Every structure is written in C-alpha cells, then in structure tokens.
Amino acid sequence: MIKRGGEKLIRPQLDTEDEINSSMSMLVRDCWSEEAHQRPSCDQLKSFIKSMNTNKSSNLMDHVFNLLEQHASHLEDEINERMKELTAEKKKSDVLLYRMLPKCPAMEASRKVIRNLVLYKFQLEHNFQTAFDNINRAKGRQVVRRTAAYE
C-alpha cells in the first residue's frame, strides 16, 4: 500500500501536548507531504530549526563562555585600536623631536637614552648665554638680563 501510493496515507499519530512545539509538529506534517514541491528544502529546515533553538537558553556554562568570548573579542579589538593610536602618536612625537634636536640626540632620546640628552641641554643653554652676551655687547648696555638659571 505504501509503495503503490494508496489513497489513505499511513502516518504516525502526533500528540499535541504542551511539551511539543506546535510549529515543530507543523514542520513534521509539511515534511510528510506527497508532493515534492510542497515539502520544505534542507536549507529551510536548517534555518527553521536554528530559529527554534535560539529562543531556548542552552546550558548556563555555554552561555557564560559565549559572553566571555564576546568580551575577549571586544577587548582585543579595543587593544588593537589603541595600539594604532599609540603608534600614530609616537610617530608624531618622533617627528617633533627630530625637528627640535640635532639628529643624533633625537635618535638617542627616542630610544630612551636620556643621560646623553643632558649634555646637549647645557650646550643649548650656553649658546643662549653667548647670544645674550653678544646682544648686550653690541648695544653697549644690558638689554637682555640673564637669570639665575643660566648662571
């Protein structure tokens, strides 16, 4: 009778209890259809079952792990963004440092070698003192007054 496609179709009895989702029982009935074009495709079945599972909460630990993974991913993105900003700011500060200091001390300063930078600081102060003294000598009077910081 099943092979020949008799008039009365043989199907199992589906009880519509509270435990069974009514949309799931409708899906099963749709899959029983004799006409192939009336049955849902595999992709439709897959998406329907996925949509039903998203409403139900899975294991609590799975949920916690998913939250932790999302948080870790967010933190990684944030760190990458901050590192890009830091790199851009470092490039800007290096350019400014190279403009302010001679090439050699600027390279050392960018490498965090500060002790040699102190010598250049005193040389610059001495150059300022000499320039101030030259201005005063040229004018014949004290136009520029040196402060205690330069003496």
Per-residue model confidence as pLDDT tens digits over 7-54 = 677 777 776 665 566 777 788 888 887 788 888 888 888 888 777 766
pTM of the predicted model as reported, rounded to 2 decimal places: 0.34
Q: Give residue limits of the domains in the chain.
A: 1-56, 58-100, 113-151
User: With 90 as the cut, is the pLDDT of residue 128 above it?
Assistant: no
* Tens-place pLDDT, residues 25-36: 788 888 887 788
Q: Which of 54, 48, 55 is nearest to 24 (CA)?
A: 48
Burial classification of residue 129, based on how many CB atoms lie within 10 Å of its CB (0-12 exposed, 13-18 middle, 19 or more buried)? middle
Q: How many CB atoms lie within 10 A of CB 105?
A: 20
Range of weakest confidence among 4-8, 48-52, 62-66, 79-83: 4-8
